[in-house]
Amino acid sequence: MKKLNLFVTLSLLLSVFFVACEEQEEVIPTLQEVPVDVLKKLESSGFNVTDWIPIKFEDGYIVEGDIFLSYKDIMSSDQPDDGITVTSKQYSTDNLVSTNGNRTITVFVSSRFNSATSAGVDLAIQRYNDENLEINFQRVNSSNGADIRITRLNFFLEFFGVLGSAGFPTNAGDPFNQISLNGRLSRLGFDTGGIATIVSHEMGHCIGFRHTDFFDRSISCGGATSNEGDGGVGANQIPGTPSGASLADGSWMLACSDGGDRPFNNDDKTALDFLY
């Protein structure tokens, strides 16, 4: 698995084959379920729906590999891509988590994950907490009232090669409340650091981080130059972060995983510190 992009593409071919063989059984979601109005809306908001086909998931869609948007959010978005041409720095969404100076975000992890994934979550939490931000994360044993619930993707999406998915903070200043995670990460070859990277990446979305290379996903994903656009959620440059994302810098918010470990680099720390 050199590049997630490739992995998803291969899995897509497999999935299409799989679905074709199982035509009689209707439980498996298929790519054809994405209605044209959703595709058009996503496209007009600046999302790339050609290289990254949206995948139906719960009450919305996973777009561009790992960003979850509810149907309501997609259809109520009225901010077209405003032709952002910047090619540097890190980015946040318009909505951020309100902290009032200090906020603990509780995280519940479903018991359907193995111990390797659980350890990866702990490491991801530790990485954030080590930064002494205005937000800190704390694992809790009950899903009741947890700010973020980490649950497993369904079988189809795990098979499809989606590693994880999360959305962005709410208008009310709360983190996105769910991370859907592939329960087979260790079997896919991710070690604790690799799993922590996936989890902290999705946590990053939950608190308002967009992809470091959102202006050109080809930096981490390969393939053609591809700008994610404003997406209707905002893409605000974070002051103090330098020009030019590069794969070598290994930001934890690069769009595509290479399967390896990406602890916070200095620019990531600057960006975290600025927002929180």
Residues that bind Zn ion in the complex, under the rule CB under 5 A:
66
In the complex with Zn ion, the residue whose CB is nearer, 30 or 234, is 234
C-alpha dihedral (82, 83, 85, 91), degrees to nearest 10: 40
Could you write out the DSSP letters of every residue in 23-66? TT---S--GGGS-HHHHHHHHHTT---SSS--EEETTEEEETTT
Give the single-character DSSP code of 209: B
For residue 26 the two structure tokens come to 């209707």
Minimum distance, C-beta of residue 125 to Zn ion, in the bound complex (Å): 18
Minimum distance, C-beta of residue 14 to Zn ion, in the bound complex (Å): 23
Q: Let me know: does 52 contact 43? Beta carbons within 8 Å.
A: no
Minimum distance, C-beta of residue 96 to Zn ion, in the bound complex (Å): 17
Rounded Cα–Cα distance for residues 46 and 88 (Å): 18
β strands within the chain, DSSP E: 55-57, 60-63, 67-70, 90-92, 103-109, 135-140, 148-152, 164-166, 178-181, 236-238
| CA atoms in the 13 A half-sphere facing the CB of 32 | 7
Minimum distance, C-beta of residue 27 to Zn ion, in the bound complex (Å): 27
With residue 73 as reference, give the H or E element that holds it.
helix 71-76
In the complex with Zn ion, the residue whose CB is nearer, 30 or 193, is 193
In the complex with Zn ion, the residue whose CB is nearer, 38 or 231, is 231
- For residue 162, the tally of other CB atoms under 10 A from its CB is 23
Minimum distance, C-beta of residue 64 to Zn ion, in the bound complex (Å): 8
Give the single-character DSSP code of 206: H
C-alpha dihedral (143, 145, 146, 148), degrees to nearest 10: 100
In the complex with Zn ion, the residue whose CB is nearer, 6 or 19, is 6
In the complex with Zn ion, the residue whose CB is nearer, 30 or 177, is 177
In the complex with Zn ion, the residue whose CB is nearer, 66 or 73, is 66
Minimum distance, C-beta of residue 209 to Zn ion, in the bound complex (Å): 8
Minimum distance, C-beta of residue 122 to Zn ion, in the bound complex (Å): 21
Residue with nearest beta carbon to Zn ion: 66
Contacts of 188 (CB under 8 A, 6+ apart): 1, 163, 182, 259
In the complex with Zn ion, the residue whose CB is nearer, 41 or 211, is 211
Q: In this structure, what are the phi and psi dihedrals at residue 69, rounded to the nearest 5 degrees?
A: -130, 130
In the complex with Zn ion, the residue whose CB is nearer, 6 or 140, is 6
Minimum distance, C-beta of residue 207 to Zn ion, in the bound complex (Å): 12
